[in-house]
Amino acid sequence: MIYLYSFLLSGVVCALGQIILDNTKLTPGHITSIFTVGGAILSFLGCYDFLISKFGAGATVIISNFGHMLYSSAYQGYLEEGILGIFSGMFVKSSIAITGVIVFSFIFAIIFKPKD
């Protein structure tokens, strides 16, 4: 059942993004930013951990998880090291995600022919 829930959450988020894209003049960059900030806000309100426990990977692979990851790691860094821990904590977790994206993008660019 977790697979179905995961698929449904990801599908709803993608459909919401497509509806926003089709009915407004916002660009994909704007929508990505909105979802990232939305994930951070849901994390601040304490809702995103529930989404992860209920929907599993469906809540961790969408772009809003990046906002959740930034907020939760910055907050954890703040609790451990104070004000400067906000930045160090945020960079620790986000650097893993960004490095993964760069590596996989490079691998796929080698395997497939990117369009100009």
CA–CA distance, 83 with 101 (Å, rounded to integer): 28
pLDDT for the residue 37: 95
Q: What is the mean pLDDT of residues 11-37?
A: 94
Reported for 3-12, long-range contacts at CB under 8 A and 24+ positions apart, including other chains, are 5/54, 5/55, 5/56, 5/58, 6/55, 6/56, 6/57, 6/58, 6/59, 7/58, 8/55, 8/58, 9/51, 9/55, 9/58, 9/59, 9/62, 10/58, 10/61, 10/62
58 pLDDT more than 90 = no
Which band of pLDDT confidence, cut at 50, 70 and 90, is reported for residue 45? very high
**Predicted confidence (pLDDT) per residue in 88-101, tens digit:** 888 887 888 788 88
